[in-house]
Amino acid sequence: IVVFEPPEAWVQGGPRTPFIKRVIGLPGETIEIRDGTVLVDGTELDELYVFDGQPTTAIDEPARWGVPDGELFVMGDHRSASADSRAFGPIARDTVIGRAWLRYWPISALGILPTPVYAPPVGNGDARPSPAAP
- Taking the C-alpha atoms of residue 1 and residue 20, their distance in angstroms, rounded to an integer, is 7
- Pinpoint the alpha helices (H) of the chain: 8-11, 85-88
> pLDDT tens digits, residue range 97-116?
987 766 666 677 777 777 66
In Å, how far from its chain's centre is CA 10? 17
What is the residue-averaged pLDDT of the chain?
A: 81
Q: How far apart are CA 123 and CA 77, in angstroms?
A: 34
Q: Which of 4-8, 35-39, 99-103 has the highest mean pLDDT?
A: 35-39
Given a contact cutoff of 8 angstroms between Cβ atoms, the answer to whether 24 and 74 are in contact is: yes
Alpha-carbon distance of 13 to 36, in angstroms, equals 33
Q: Look at residue 68 and tell me whether its pLDDT is greater than 90.
A: yes
Task: Report the candidate in 55, 51, 64 with the shortest Cα–Cα distance to residue 35.
Answer: 55
- CA 15 to chain centroid, in Å, comes to 22
Mean pLDDT value across residues 60-78: 91
**Which is more confidently placed, 64 or 110?**
64
